[in-house]
Structure 1
């Protein structure tokens, strides 16, 4: 099996790490700039020099850090509580620094956490989280605008943070939609693979069993009629019944072996159907098919045209199954004692034609699974298929199977 491609380094980093790094970097910078190494100016509205002098302020800063780091650690496993912790820790920064305005840089970590939550949770949950975040921003902005609480030396940061929150929600929503779409496509592909496998098994069972039952019915009927007068002929007919039954049993074992050995996720049409010691039938088996059917009482004349060469197994097996099913319909429904099979090995395609002069396939064959199975086989190989009564009487089945250029 092919190894899973390794993700780029940036994508292998958990989202909680990004949240923690962004928040801590934005938190450590003002501490270093305004507390550890004070600058020449004595006052900053955003970060006052003596903002962390009190024990209460330091305790709030420590609590905020613990909340955000805990939320970052839980972000992948529990996005909802993790997001609440990151948001709560970011809000606590304002009273820690004696601020009335939300800290813009630290709020980027909240936006990252919101994007992760939106990508992982249903839309109702993510919209509620985004609304709560916008409500927090409004709680900082509206008192200053309506009542003049605190100072405002410039453009407020909350509108820009609100825009970032909306963008983060849109990004997370797009990621979730892409994931849901990919899961839906995988489910459809799995369902299609199961359906294709079921159809393939149905075709194989129908083609093997229906032909054998037709031969067995003819031979058993012949044996019943001559068992008293010509016991040697009855013995010969019963021998043909035994041989046909053994061949069908071998085919069933071959199919079951292939099903047991198929790799998970492998294309059903690419699964080999010829595990040793039961090789899949091909063009070389058409003559033996004609001999067995002729011995059962319906003469099958095979005409070969063109140069016979090795074909891919799927083409050879499909050609054999088409001839087998067409001959079976002749035996069961045509009401005639002969048919003609023409196999034309051309350079770019393999042409097959089975004609008879009987009464046609009848309602049972026309509405059964035989013609449908033949049409499906040809369609899987991107060929052409025709099945219709002939103007002069009888029925005609024709198929053209393209041969890959590398085989020609």
Structure 2
């Protein structure tokens, strides 16, 4: 069977190694910051990068403006280049003033580097029209004013060409950012969808457990009502106190059966499993026989007293084997499946192994083991799913037996009849009393 959700082994009682709520929440918490960083991605650089940027811009622009104005470092051209370069780190918080300053410095005094960086920044943010308009305005003003540093003068690096390159790079950065944001939103949506499906799988499994246990409880309550009804027909042959208790028992069992059907009957809807009969009606050997008839190779090793095991254990074992055999048929149809079940103290154990599927294994949904984990944890057990050392896939479950009263033990009216509160509950829960 191909791994459905993960690998590993359970590390404590009530844990499902393939997928646990704690591990799910921890994994999502570890992934969330990454998604958030991508979703909130912007053009801001670290402070030291901004500092280096200002130094480089000023180091290039100021000497160039000084040379163009005859070596005067106090000329308006030098001051404009210096101010425009130092204002670049503010382009994130105050984009319009910084853009206006860069356009003025580039158009009136020929400061090209601040204009290049501002054009790239605006285009990367998706403000292509503003960037193109600012660049065109700076070029037009520069052509009219004709300062010592002209953006139209033939130079080796081509100012106009560099401005066009800055716009192109900004478009590429803007597209990359939009793609990253879209992927981040899609990842977040998929994670939320996965979480909702996992929650739905657990809820569906709990609903199935309640609906299946309804069959078991209804059967046993029906037996109690039936036998108490037989005794009630012979009330004249019983002592008056016993006859009253029998009538009370019959009424209580009938009412309890009706209440159980009213409360749990709503759990059976059109989306429920097609066959959710109790383990007494559907046993593991019946399931394995059906798998063999379908052409699947199944080797079974069933041991212990299944009739003496709790109904919830038998039902859980049936569901574990059903899920494991079904997944093996999907993902490794040619591999033999080995099923081993052991009923008895101190725990009921079930193990299903098969060779791992090949490259043609079907795509797995990943929610079957979530439901199994919910069912096993509800019984205080452990579920493990993952590859074994010999390259096979292994699913195993351990369901501990809860200590209870000895078979046939009934409360003693002489010791428990007049007990009150906690003592009465302890008396009935421990089964202290006489044997019939």
TM-score, normalised on structure 2?
0.43
Higher relative contact order (CA 8 A, sep 6+): 2
